[in-house]
A and B are shown apart, each in its own frame.
Chain A
Amino acid sequence: MGIHDVDRRARRVRQCRIFFAVFAAFAFFLTLTLHAQQPPPGGGRGGRGGATITSPRNAYPDRPPGDPAAIERGKALYSVNCQFCHGADTRGGDGGPSLLRSGLVLDDRNGELMAPVIQNGRTDRGMPKFTFTAEQVADVATYIHTFRAAGYDESRIKPPSIIVGDAKAGEAFFKARCAACHSPGGDLRGLAARITDERLLQQTWLMPGTGGGRGGPAPVTVPPTTVTVTLPSGEKVEGKLDRVDDFVVSLTTADGTHRSFRTPMTGGDTPKVEIHDPLQPHKDLLRTYADSDIHNVTAFLVTLK
């Protein structure tokens, strides 16, 4: 989650830079907001001023900010001469390739690598030559370099809804496969009102206890996995499963006592270890779903407001 926050913040900072000349007051407000949520020193994007690399998303330094006047001049030139083929966002179109991921553009600092391409064209690939001066090339480069390339590219146009299924079919599936444990009028009453994010709702019914993928808390609490250990004497020890591997099983009994037992390496039968995972039915179902079943059940569950 922290990772995403850092990314969004960097993006907003860049937007501030671009719009500063035009929306100075708005940008000022935004900057104030940004200051309010600055990370601790060293938590920003890498490259300058004691940065700390914490993930692939902040591993590469931003370019130094360009001169706002040069950006404006470059934008004007770009919109007239380049945008038609390379797109308003430099990501390319049918006519020209993406500049954002171009090795030449990435390696370019201030137009020195772009200049020969702009001034000579690439006639073999359908790019005409442009009679830009060196200063104009530098302005266009400054503008192009305001777009940040990232391997973990943030979504630009998010789909408004993930609901594509048939609620009736979903209800029928639910009755057949889920109703032994759950009921729309009982434990699931008002489910969609409690979990309003459609994707989080889908993830939650598929595997309760998992989050929505953005690091937020899981919206439902799953009862713990329990274990019963039958000792050679016949004594049964039961409790919440804390840990198990091929060699040791550890549990906490009802009175809060921690107990551990060695289990035979060869997989023998004493002590006998029986694990009760409340999510086992959900896990077993994973092997059986068609994606349409999942989409239909979600379409049904979003009606449980």
Chain B
Amino acid sequence: MKTRMMVVAVCLASAVLSAAPENGLDPATLLKPLADQWPSYSGDYTGRRYSALTQINQSNVKSMTLAWSARLNAGGGGGAGASTIVGGEGTGDVTVGGATQIKGAVLMVNNVLYVTAPDNVWALDAHDGHELWHYFWKTKGGTHIGNRGAAMWGNYLYFVTPDDYFVSIDARTGKERWHKEAASFAQQYFLTSAPTTIGNHIIVGTGNDLDSPGYLDAYDPETGERQWRFYTVPMNPGDPGLETWKDLDAARHGGGHPWLPGVYDPETKLYIFGTGNPTPAYHSKPRGEGMDNLFTCAIVAVNVDTGKMEWYYQTSPHDTHDWDSAQTPVLVDGTFRGSGPRKMVLTASRNGYYFTLDRHTGEHLVTSKFSETVNWAKPALNPKGQPVREPAKDHHIAGALVSAANGGATNWPPAAYSPDTGLLYVPTQETYAMYYLSETDPRGAMGLGGKDEISVGTAGTYISAIDYNTGKTVWRHKFRSTRGNAPSGLLTTAGKLLFGGDISGNFVAFDPANGKPIWHARIGQVSNAPETYMVDGRQHVLVAAGDTLYAFTLYQ
């Protein structure tokens, strides 16, 4: 009897340990400011991508050199020396064309790196980049455009797949724990986002280019049972925002996908995230001419325990250009126009406009245009501070010359904010395209169909440094280039450095005060946002270019 009690006690103790083990990631770690580790998509809950590390700094960055590089082999054919663990619901006969691209966050927890690409997760030793294990998911299909990374809770990793599964694997072994169907493959959802760990919730957002509704799900990290679902568009009679759609059927097919991870305010328990474009994207009449189409293209705050919306602010009412407002917002505590402290949320939207909001209430504080060429809206903002769509700059049969092109003035590559300079750094492109309506019958228009958008060139690609008090661009660095690649995501540090890829294949350290390049190495087109962490007392800066990771450190 006594022995049996002991066994039970040991089992219980190990169960507790598996929930918060010494080797795993304690969810409380996620509440700390970003420094030694990189335990989540943005590194910490603020989305600032500002690291407190100073070992590499403006005075010594010229001595930064390569520590290691690691090329990753996607697919089921075996990795670089480590065994491949195969999962998935597919039959194994669907292959994915194109090169492997690391387009998301790499987690660094306890000297192990966790890297993802669609259908693939790798664990690498952070000392030298060698592969510990590789997990490969046999896909049924779905759009394989990118994967933004994994989330961690205890010893467990969580990621999503293009064929709509939410998968948990054991971070120590790479073995699958379970997988859950998170969205309908038949409705052509495809999941790309990085899940977010908050307490005992794992939050997952959808993606879809047909006309299916967007939503966030919260899952139990232990069992994978769903805790709540928040739809970003009205789904039932009486739902808030329904009056901003032509009818319920239009709302239920209205899109608004939360493509990217949000940020979290522990004080208010608000998970704050951006939503994508309404659908059909270009034929907007079926959505109700000129109607706002809530809660698409908005910053939305939901209570993390209930999934109930606390506030929203729409950055593109009735979008007609497929310009998501899904960019990961940035939380900043500081003075606002000399008074404060004020708790704010900052976002630079794909539509070319920048916004400062109060993050407790959603109150609008600032709107500005951070792209000089953007021309889709009327000159004046409305009383809520929103840009007002100019219908002449929708798609037209004869063509409308619109800036920005479909990629927008900025896109998923994340912005960074430095409390040292008070500036938000935003990857920015100024592009033009002719937008043609190629379908004269709006009835039954769907998804991204019915238009042709043909580029007429790029006016410039920049890092814009924006003052949240005024919305003014304090400086911007124009990349000199003969190429038209998009700029990468950004990282800034207490070492007075700003890291990012240019559009010519260079990885660059800039002075965050003025955008002057200080250091660079040509590694190929940077495909994610740089990160930094400590390994055995040495600061590393990690960045991906296509299928290869590069870790830099000071020369010793």
Task: List residues of chain A with CB under 8 Å of any chain B CB.
Answer: 42, 46-54, 56, 59-61, 87, 89, 91-93, 97-98, 100-101, 103, 106-107, 149-159, 162-165, 199, 202-203, 206-207, 210-213, 225, 241-247, 265-267, 279, 283, 286-287, 289, 291, 294-295, 298
Residues of A within 8 A of B253 (CB): 98, 101
Size class of B's contact patch? 35 or more
A50, chain B: closest CB distance, angstroms: 5
Stretch binding the partner chain, chosen from B35-43, B63-71, B77-85, B441-449: B441-449
B450, chain A: closest CB distance, angstroms: 6
B437, chain A: closest CB distance, angstroms: 7
B73-98 residues with Cβ-Cβ distance < 8 A to A are 93-98
A213-B452 contact in complex given A151-B209, A157-B441, A159-B438, C-beta closer than 8 Å: yes
A188, chain B: closest CB distance, angstroms: 19
Contact A53 B452 (CB under 8 A): no
Contact B399 A199 (CB under 8 A): yes
Contact B397 A265 (CB under 8 A): no
7 A–B pairs (Cβ distance < 8 Å), ordered by A: A87-B443, A103-B184, A153-B447, A157-B441, A207-B457, A210-B454, A243-B504
Stretch binding the partner chain, chosen from B6-14, B186-194, B543-551: B186-194
Residues of B within 8 A of A163 (CB): 398
Contact A245 B93 (CB under 8 A): no
A154, chain B: closest CB distance, angstroms: 7
A52-B95 contact in complex given A98-B444, A164-B398, C-beta closer than 8 Å: yes
Residues of B within 8 A of A42 (CB): 95
A256, chain B: closest CB distance, angstroms: 19
Residues of A within 8 A of B449 (CB): 150-155
Let me know if B456 is at the binding interface, CB within 8 A: yes
Contact B373 A243 (CB under 8 A): no
Residues of A within 8 A of B93 (CB): 48-51
Per-residue CB proximity of B94-134 to A under 8 Å, as 1/0? 11111000000000000000000000000000000000000
Contact B97 A54 (CB under 8 A): yes
A149-B443 contact in complex given A243-B482, A265-B520, C-beta closer than 8 Å: no
Let me know if B455 is at the binding interface, CB within 8 A: yes
- How far apart sit A244 and B481, CA to CA, in the bound complex (Å)? 5
- How far apart sit A204 and B207, CA to CA, in the bound complex (Å)? 35
Q: Which residue of B lies closest to A212 (CB)?
A: B454
Residues of B within 8 A of A60 (CB): 141-142, 185, 188
The one of B144, B399, B522 in contact with A59, judged by C-beta atoms closer than 8 angstroms, is: B144
Q: Which residue of B lies closest to A48 (CB)?
A: B93
Contact B454 A295 (CB under 8 A): no
Residues of B within 8 A of A56 (CB): 143, 145, 209
Q: Which residue of B lies closest to A63 (CB)?
A: B186
Q: Which residue of B lies closest to A45 (CB)?
A: B141
> Which of A151, A165, A244 counts the most chain B CB atoms within 10 A?
A151
Contact A106 B441 (CB under 8 A): no
Residues of A within 8 A of B188 (CB): 59-60, 106, 149, 151
- How far apart sit A210 and B454, CA to CA, in the bound complex (Å)? 9
Residues of B within 8 A of A212 (CB): 454
B201-217 residues with Cβ-Cβ distance < 8 A to A are 208-212
Contact B190 A47 (CB under 8 A): no
A59-B143 contact in complex given A46-B94, A101-B210, A202-B434, C-beta closer than 8 Å: yes
A159, chain B: closest CB distance, angstroms: 4
Let me know if B32 is at the binding interface, CB within 8 A: no
- How far apart sit A291 and B392, CA to CA, in the bound complex (Å)? 9
A247-B454 contact in complex given A107-B186, A162-B436, C-beta closer than 8 Å: no
Contact A92 B432 (CB under 8 A): no
A207, chain B: closest CB distance, angstroms: 4
B366, chain A: closest CB distance, angstroms: 25
Residues of B within 8 A of A287 (CB): 373, 459
